Amino acid sequence: MGPQSFGFPFEQAFQPKEKSAAKQSGKKGLLDELAQNITNGAKAGLIDPVIGRDDEVARVIEILNRRNKNNPVLIGEPGVGKTAIAEGLALKIAEGDVPNKLKNKELYLLDVASLVANTGIRGQFEERMKQLITELKERKNVILFIDEIHLLVGAGSAEGSMDAGNILKPALARGELQVIGATTLKEYRQIEKDAALERRFQPVMVQEPSIEQAILILQGIKDKYEAYHGVTFSDEAIKACVTLSSRYIQDRHLPDKAIDLLDEAGSKANLLIDELNDEDAAERLTAIEAEKTKALEEENYELAAKLRDEELALEKKLNSSSAHTAVTVEAEHIQEIVEQKTGIPVGKLQADEQTKMKELEAKLHERVIGQEAAVQKVAKAVRRSRAGLKSKNRPVGSFLFVGPTGVGKTELSKTLADELFGTKDAIIRLDMSEYMEKHAVSKIIGSPPGYVGHEEAGQLTEKVRRNPYSIVLLDEIEKAHPDVQHMFLQIMEDGRLTDSQGRTVSFKDTVIIMTSNAGAGEKQTKVGFQSDDSVIEEQTLIDSLSMFFKPEFLNRFDSIIEFRSLEKEHLVKIVSLLLGELEETLAERGISLNVTDEAKEKIAELGYHPSFGARPLRRTIQEWVEDEMTDLLLDNGEITSFHVILEDDKIKVQAK
């Protein structure tokens, strides 16, 4: 079988050898094709300054200065600045601020995808890796930086061939080449599985910077972004980028998320500036002058006149733009971008916070009738939290609402959502009767690996991750399995929960409300018209709850709130609220509504049920008022007002 039998010269399978020979003749080597020289970029001023990472850069230099196993690997979460540390080393090499052993070194960034590309023929990838290692051995001054180094494990492997990691092992062990790696904690496990490869690297942990450090980082790089976008950033805007991203963007890390805000704010502000900048205008003016001269020589006066008009317009624009002051990005612009990204009304939350907290109790009283003590306790706990007098990682508040049905537990939750987060829809509601089995834990945080539905997110964790500013309402908590109840211990204590995907979900901006009928059994049959002396004393309440919940569970709540039975005047007030809603609906059709006090009292009396609290009131209004109105409207479409009165101890609806 000749060398041409496969349809192409046999030597083509080993093209890297030809490239190596090409390199010897002065052409680019494989390293120059597959990698980028970061040190040259640093010398040319193309790399942003690296702020606040001196310790990590010093640690990398320390490892590189070793005799053996001198290969650092940077490990940290995405966006904390691992690549920036490698760039910081390149800057130090460019400035000569490194030990003598590293003075003439050059840092190359390897593209792993290009390394694997076009190596489909068996043996081709190994040959390319061998050539790369040979080049690195020859060029003793090269340090290879491999971002996402975990990709080397398995890269290029096929049946009967070796992967990149195994090919690199001998050279790394002998110290013939130096490598800096960067990867995340999760993906570093792929390298840890191969103990022989892992022992050749020295891990350098890169932690997320603090808010203060992140502000310094942004102040250090803002000049580059100001020059690029043609805007200026105020100190307040820089601070807002860090504080707002830290507060409202939970699933990413500093400084990356803060730099994103800075860049986006600069981009948005740049759009306000005229599209044509001074430099482009000046170049165009020079070109117009030449074109105008040529047009005059060719006696094309019409074109020359058009060019003259364009010249005048450009000169006018240049004069106005020279007097034009640069756009400044302020904290308000950063707030707008955070609102766009997260859907959370950041500016409104901050501006209205103080007033909202002062009026919280009064607002809750307007909607929740007959529960003065409960409303007061909730308002105080929320105000205390908002004033910064709680642990910063705990939820805004955690409450156990105890009481019979129909006394306002759910209504208080809805009203609190409306007052705190601007909408009654900001409620994540879970009915605990659906979580009575032990395996129901997986519904909350997601199924563990290997089980059906592992890829699907947990019902609670995913909702809170998407809407961190919410009331989490857990109805009838006593019906949940004890293992489900225990899961909420860490939420109420530490304000976080880890789902089956390993993501930590923050609950620090939520209000946890659990409702229960447990402990209220003694008074379930007495709801309605009764005196104050029937209120369960606090100690008696806790004793009765201890039959259903463990002490460590009860001890985690900010407050255990007992809801009182509703009395006659409370029911009348609730009737007024419900009729107020009906009045608003009729007003949209231009119809007024007037209800006498006697009629309201009669509706309260008809709607009272000892087992259901105030819930039947809405049905009573539908039956005695709305149904009558419907008949009258169908008979006469030109009604302008309704009067609801009590006549012969019966409710009558009159139309005008």
More confident: 218 or 439:
218
DSSP bridge pairs for 641: 592
CB-based contacts of 297, cutoff 8 Å, min separation 6: none
CATH of 346-562, one of 3.40.50.300, 3.40.50.970, 2.60.40.10, 3.30.470.20: 3.40.50.300
Confidence of residue 10 (pLDDT cuts 50, 70, 90): very low
Please check whether residue 458 is in contact with residue 446, taking contact to mean a CB–CB distance below 8 angstroms: yes
Spell out the CATH class of 211-273+328-342.
Answer: mainly alpha
Segment (H or E) for 542: helix 538-545
CATH code of 568-655, in short, is: 1.10.8.60
Confidence of residue 534 (pLDDT cuts 50, 70, 90): very low
570 has pLDDT over 80: no
Please check whether residue 505 is in contact with residue 496, taking contact to mean a CB–CB distance below 8 angstroms: yes
Confidence of residue 85 (pLDDT cuts 50, 70, 90): confident
What pLDDT sits at residue 450? 67
Confidence of residue 636 (pLDDT cuts 50, 70, 90): confident
What is the number of alpha carbons within 13 Å of residue 23 lying toward its C-beta?
Answer: 19
| Per-residue pLDDT tens digits for 124-180 | 777 777 888 888 888 888 888 888 877 777 654 544 445 666 777 777 777 778 888
Rounded to whole angstroms, the Cα distance separating 299 from 301 reads 6
543 has pLDDT over 60: yes
Rounded to whole angstroms, the Cα distance separating 365 from 378 reads 11
Confidence of residue 34 (pLDDT cuts 50, 70, 90): confident
What pLDDT sits at residue 274? 54
Across the range 600-628, mean pLDDT stands at 76
Confidence of residue 347 (pLDDT cuts 50, 70, 90): low
| Per-residue pLDDT tens digits for 174-190 | 777 888 888 888 888 87
Amino acid, res. 181 = G
Q: Please give the backbone phi and psi of residue 392, each rounded to the nearest 5 degrees, phi first.
A: -70, -15
Nearest to 573, CA basis, from 538, 557, 597, 543: 597
Rounded to whole angstroms, the Cα distance separating 252 from 246 reads 9
Q: Which residues of 219-230 are buried (b: 16+ CB within 10 A; e: fewer)?
A: eebbeebbeebe
Average pLDDT of the residues of the chain: 76
Across the range 519-543, mean pLDDT stands at 52
Please check whether residue 446 is in contact with residue 461, taking contact to mean a CB–CB distance below 8 angstroms: yes
What pLDDT sits at residue 352? 60
What pLDDT sits at residue 234? 86
Rounded to whole angstroms, the Cα distance separating 472 from 430 reads 8
Residue 609 DSSP one-character state: B
What pTM value is reported for the model? 0.63
Confidence of residue 443 (pLDDT cuts 50, 70, 90): confident
Amino acid, res. 272 = L
What pLDDT sits at residue 531? 44
Whole-number Cα distances in Å, 524 to 385, 399, 478: 33, 21, 16
What pLDDT sits at residue 54? 81
361 has pLDDT over 70: yes
Q: Give the E-state strand segments of 226-346 in sequence order.
A: 231-233, 327-329
Please check whether residue 365 is in contact with residue 577, taking contact to mean a CB–CB distance below 8 angstroms: no
CATH of 12-205, one of 1.10.1050.10, 3.40.50.2300, 3.30.70.100, 3.40.50.300: 3.40.50.300
Rounded to whole angstroms, the Cα distance separating 40 from 43 reads 5
- Which of 310-314, 341-345, 350-354, 436-440 shows the lowest per-residue confidence on average (mean pLDDT)? 350-354
589-597 CB contacts, 8 Å cutoff, 24+ apart: 590/640, 591/639, 591/640, 591/641, 591/642, 592/640, 592/641, 592/642, 593/641, 593/642, 593/644, 594/641, 594/642, 594/643, 594/644, 595/643, 595/644, 596/643, 596/644, 596/645, 596/646
What pLDDT sits at residue 7? 44
In the sheet with 106-110, reading across from the earlier edge strand, the strands are 35-37, 106-110, 142-147, 178-183, 72-75, 202-205
Vertex 218: Cα angle to 212 and 223 (nearest 5): 145
387-390 CB contacts, 8 Å cutoff, 24+ apart: 387/357
Across the range 362-368, mean pLDDT stands at 78
What pLDDT sits at residue 519? 60
Across the range 601-621, mean pLDDT stands at 74
CB-based contacts of 8, cutoff 8 Å, min separation 6: none
Rounded to whole angstroms, the Cα distance separating 209 from 254 reads 6
Domains 12-205 and 211-273+328-342 share a fold: no
Using DSSP's 3-state secondary structure scheme, residue 498 falls into: strand
Structure tokens at 400: 């156990």
346 has pLDDT over 70: no
8 has pLDDT over 70: no
- Give the start-to-end residue ranges of the domains of the chain: 12-205, 211-273+328-342, 278-322, 346-562, 568-655
